Amino acid sequence: EAGVTQSPTHLIKTRGQQVTLRCSPISGHTSVYWYQQALGLGLQFLLWYDEGEERNRGNFPPRFSGRQFPNYSSELNVNALELEDSALYLCASSWTTWTDNSPLHFGNGTRLTVT
Amino acid sequence: GNSVTQMEGPVTLSEEAFLTINCTYTATGYPSLFWYVQYPGEGLQLLLKATKADDKGSNKGFEATYRKETTSFHLEKGSVQVSDSAVYFCALSRNTGGFKTIFGAGTRLFVKA
């Protein structure tokens, strides 16, 4: 079974630019989550998509947005990049939204550096 | 609201030492509890989970017991190896119709040969 795949693995952008990150969930998973991991440690929840709908959003400005496609893959868009957006962006997927015990399956992330 | 608190790191141990990483939680109802591990340069992987009180999750020599009375889910391993060096995240999942999984801040473990 293929795991969660993210692309690209690394990205360098300049302040003010826009970036799109991509995620393909494990086959059969309908939920996709995006997290920001700055400073190599804590995870900050960004967005949750399920069945093509945005279900929840973390405490991030509107320039962070995304979408989920009919095949359940997802994109994260960040506009007007700022230096503090430099981080590892992790995508995760899970089987179902309506039970508590479905673990998240993570990709290896996209390392974004903003200069 | 729901939250997870885990001990600050880094934790540095010698090979074959006993490991405990403390984790406590605050949640309504009965959440599921997880430990995830992140090796350098990788995403998080599920290490173990427990879905109800007194359940013990175990994997790769690691164990954690869901303690409802103390709202804790401490991670333990009897004899750590250098290859266990990683960041460990405690997490809870409580589907309240919105946000699901809440992570602790992570604890970095270094194991010396």
A:B CB pairs within 8 Å: 65
What is the rounded CA–CA span in Å between residue A75 and residue B31? 29
pLDDT tens, position by position, A13-38: 999 999 999 999 999 899 999 999 98
Burial A75-107 (b: 16+ CB within 10 A, else e): bbebeebeeebbbbbbbbbbbeeeebbbbbbbb
Q: What are the counts of helices (DSSP H) followed by strands (DSSP E) for chain A?
A: 0, 11
In this complex, do B95 and A98 lie within 8 Å of one another by their Cβ atoms? Answer: yes
Residue B14 dihedral angles phi and psi, to the nearest 5° = -90, 155
pLDDT at B97 over 60: no
What average pLDDT does the segment A89-109 reach?
83
Q: B78 to chain A nearest CA, in Å?
A: 25
Q: A3 to chain B nearest CA, in Å?
A: 11
- pLDDT for the residue A40: 57
Which residue from A45, A100, A106 is facing B99, i.e. has the nearest CB?
A: A45
Burial class (CB in 10 A: 0-12, 13-18, 19+), B38: buried
Compute CA B103 distance to the chain's CA centroid, rounded to the nearest angstrom.
Answer: 9
Residues B50 and B66 sit within 8 Å (Cβ to Cβ): yes
Choose among B86, B92, B57: nearest CA to B71.
B92
pLDDT tens, position by position, B55-94: 999 999 999 999 999 999 999 999 999 999 999 999 998 7
